[in-house]
Each structure stands twice: as structure tokens, then as C-alpha cells.
Structure 1
Amino acid sequence: MMIYLLAATMTLAMLIATAFGLHNEAQNARLERQRRDTQRYRMG
């Protein structure tokens, strides 16, 4: 029974880590797009 609890805990931890990673990647992409758009309008 203990192994199932450990497996469930590890699965939940990996899901949380994946969600955090995806959020971080989305935020980086958003900032990069904003930076690129800002530079384009400054150069214009």
C-alpha cells in the first residue's frame, strides 16, 4: 500500500512541476514577443 501512495505522490509532484514549467515557458514567450514588438516600433 505504501508504494501506491509514493507513486501517487510522485505523479502529483510531476504534474505540478509540468504545470509550473509550462507557465514559465508561456511567460517567457509573452515577454519575448512584447520585447520584439517594442523594439520594432522604436526602430520605425
Structure 2
Amino acid sequence: MMIYMLAAAMTLAMLVATAFSLHQEAHRVRTKVQTARVQLPGWRNPRAPR
């Protein structure tokens, strides 16, 4: 019985970790997109070809 409880706890922990990492990745991408939209005078886009 204890092994089933351990397996359930590990499954729940992995689900929480996955949700947390997906949230962080989405936030990072959102921030990157918003930053790319900002066009400041005197700044160049680092991804633009030279």
C-alpha cells in the first residue's frame, strides 16, 4: 500500500512541476515578445542582420 501512496505522491509532484515550468516558459516567451515590440530610438534589434 505504501508503494502506491509514494507513486501517487511522485505523480502529483511531477504534475505540479510540469505546470510550474510551463507557466515559467510562457512568461519568458511573453516577456520576450513584448520586449521585441519595443522600438527605442538608438537601440538596434540584436536579431536583425548587420
TM-score scaled to structure 1, two decimals? Answer: 0.88
State the Cα RMSD in Å: 0.8
What is the alpha-carbon distance in structure 2 between the residues aligned to residue 42 and residue 3 of structure 1? 58
* 2:23 is aligned with 1:3: no
Say whether residues 1:42 and 2:43 are aligned partners: no
| 1:4 maps to amino acid | Y
Which of structure 1's runs of 4+ aligned residues deviate more than 3 A?
none
Relative to the length of structure 2, the TM-score reads 0.78
Higher RCO structure (Cα 8 Å, ≥6 apart)? 2
| Higher helix proportion | 1
Larger radius of gyration: 2
Q: Which amino acid aligns with 1:42?
A: L
Residues matched between the structures, number = 41
Gaps (5+ residues) in structure 1?
none
Identical-residue share of aligned pairs (%): 56
